[in-house]
Amino acid sequence: MKPIALLAAATLGVALFAAHPVSAQNAGQIAAVRNGANCPRCNLFQADLSNLTLKGKNLAGARLRQADLSTAVMNRTSFAGGDLRDVNAYGAVLSAASFARADLTNASFVGAYLQGANFTGARLAGVNFSGAEMGRAAGLKQSQLNQACGDDSTLLPRGLSIPRCR
């Protein structure tokens, strides 16, 4: 290959790469949220939000995939329409939080407090709700819970059940 052809190919490769933004975490957005900012549609991939108190925040549509929310207190926070796949929310307090239309695939809400949380249209495939308190959660359907799992201490709204985790 001639040097001009190599240069053209390299330039084209850089242009194609630049046209597809990298979807890694955004450290600035994570820092802003950790400091209490609202951040709808932000890229919070793998963010460490554990042990924080962030009540009433707007994180709707945010990418929180693989984020750590363990023991966080995030009451009345909107995660509506967000990507929360593989989130660890062990022991989190998320009362009245909105997970409407959010993708929670394979998330862990072990021991989480989810009273009054809204799960309307949320994807719950593979979610572990063992020990979760969600007796007053809203928008839950049996078809959603059939894709999740829990244990004998999982508290659900009356008339709903959840398969046991294996």
Q: How many domains does one find in the chain?
A: 1
Say if 4 falls within a structural domain: no
CATH of the domain at 126: 2.160.20.80
Say if 149 falls within a structural domain: yes
Say if 60 falls within a structural domain: yes
Cα of 58 vs its chain's centroid, Å: 13
Say if 51 falls within a structural domain: yes
Give the predicted TM-score (pTM) of the model: 0.85
pLDDT in tens, 24-75: 789 999 999 999 999 999 999 999 999 999 999 999 999 999 999 999 999 9
pLDDT in tens, 101-131: 999 999 999 999 999 999 999 999 999 999 9
Q: Using 50, 70 and 90 to split pLDDT, how confident is the model at 145?
A: very high
pLDDT at 137: 98
Bridge partner list, 88: 68, 108
Say if 65 falls within a structural domain: yes
Could you give phi then psi for residue 160, rounded to 5 degrees?
A: -110, 150
Say if 2 falls within a structural domain: no
Say if 22 falls within a structural domain: no
Residue 3 pLDDT more than 50? no
As a whole number of angstroms, the distance between CA 90 and CA 69 comes to 7
pLDDT at 54: 95
CA angle 133, 55, 40 (to 5 degrees): 105
Give the chain as a 3 state SS string.
Answer: CCHHHHHHHHHHHHHHHHHCCCCCCCHHHHHHHHCCCCCCCCECCCCECCCCECCCCECCCCECCCCECCCCECCCCECCCCECCCCECCCCECCCCECCCCECCCCECCCCECCCCECCCCECCCCECCCCECCCCECCCHHHHCCCEECCCCECCCCCCCCECC
Say if 131 falls within a structural domain: yes
- Please give the residue range of the domain that contains residue 64: 40-166
pLDDT in tens, 83-107: 999 999 999 999 999 999 999 999 9
